Structure 1
Amino acid sequence: MNSRIDAETDFEELTARIRTQSQQAPGSDTERVTIRSLEAVRSDSLESLLEAAESEHLEPGELVFVLSRANAERLCEREFDIDDVDELESVLGRRIRVEDEMPDDTVLLLHPDAVEGEELIEPEAIACGIVGTDGTDD
């Protein structure tokens, strides 16, 4: 299955749109994105985002994490002491897509076909982690 996220995707715009599609939006009766606050970018916070997504609508085997380069490097160095994203994928058991334009304060977990560019095709197949201000401290 080919991802609808491509080289032209504006990740700042995409994450801004996703963050406004909260499942708990007042008066909302449409399918919405699952949004969770994360204290920091750590393996346990990614696992909690995965659990929230799995408990909602998403098929676990299809999900992909989308991380900023800085967050991927933090996970590799601080959490696992591993060398690259391929090893990180093995440890987390999920595919990881690293995007230079991805904001450091957001982690996405989504089905590859849930977005097309910056458009949300299937909001219920997207989980968004909002990283707290201490997400870069160790």
Structure 2
Amino acid sequence: MGSSHDTPIDASTDFEELSARLRTQSEEAPGSDTARVTIRSLEEISADSLSELLEAGENDASDPSDLVFVLSRTNAELLTEREFDIADVDELEDVLGRTVQVEDEMPDDTILLLDPDAVDGEEIRDPDAIACGIVGNDH
């Protein structure tokens, strides 16, 4: 086991593809009995909006303590610029109480919160353990 900065979600994952799949998966899920990804619209990138996403995700996940945020580099920077008490990703992790993984390939309009085991590469294994925040025009 390495440092706490190991990426919980395999860094070889195509996060752009994964985000696209998660966003469409919720729209295309047939029937109401299908497990779905939790989708939330976020007005802006802030610690509060991430906390809201976290609450939504925790309600659906079987083991909320495993959930990890995945942010684009741009969104991570926006957060640390805006939140006067958050200087870097480590502090963001402290505030949210969750691991935050920053990925260059992540689309800026999507924030993921998921159990690393809920995905395998771009394959969605456990939609209940995934929440997807879709960011409005906050750029």
Alignment TM class, shorter chain as reference: 0.7 to 0.9
- Against the structure 1 CA distance between its residues 33 and 40, is the aligned structure 2 distance closer, same or farther, given a 3 Å change threshold? same
TM-score (norm 1): 0.87
Choose between structure 1 and 2: higher helix proportion: 2
TM-score (norm 2): 0.86
Which residue of structure 2 lines up, in the alignment, with residue 5 of structure 1?
9
Which residue of structure 2 lines up, in the alignment, with residue 31 of structure 1?
35
- Against the structure 1 CA distance between its residues 20 and 4, is the aligned structure 2 distance closer, same or farther, given a 3 Å change threshold? farther
Structure 1 contact 23–32 (Cα < 8 Å) conserved: no
Give the aligned CA root-mean-square deviation in angstroms: 2.2
Compute the displacement of 1:35 (Å).
0.5
Asked whether 1:59 is paired with 2:42, we answer: no
- How many angstroms apart in 2 are the aligned matches of 1:25 and 1:61? 26
Could you tell me which runs of 5 or more consecutive residues in structure 2 were left unpaired when the two chains were aligned.
Answer: none
- How many angstroms apart in 2 are the aligned matches of 1:91 and 1:75? 12
Structure 1 contact 23–35 (Cα < 8 Å) conserved: no
Which residue of structure 1 lines up, in the alignment, with residue 93 of structure 2?
89
Structure 2 contact 67–98 (Cα < 8 Å) conserved: yes
Could you tell me which runs of 5 or more consecutive residues in structure 1 were left unpaired when the two chains were aligned.
Answer: none
Compute the displacement of 1:57 (Å).
2.8
Alignment of 1:65-80 (within 5 A): 65-80=69-84
Q: In percent, how many aligned pairs have the same letter?
A: 70
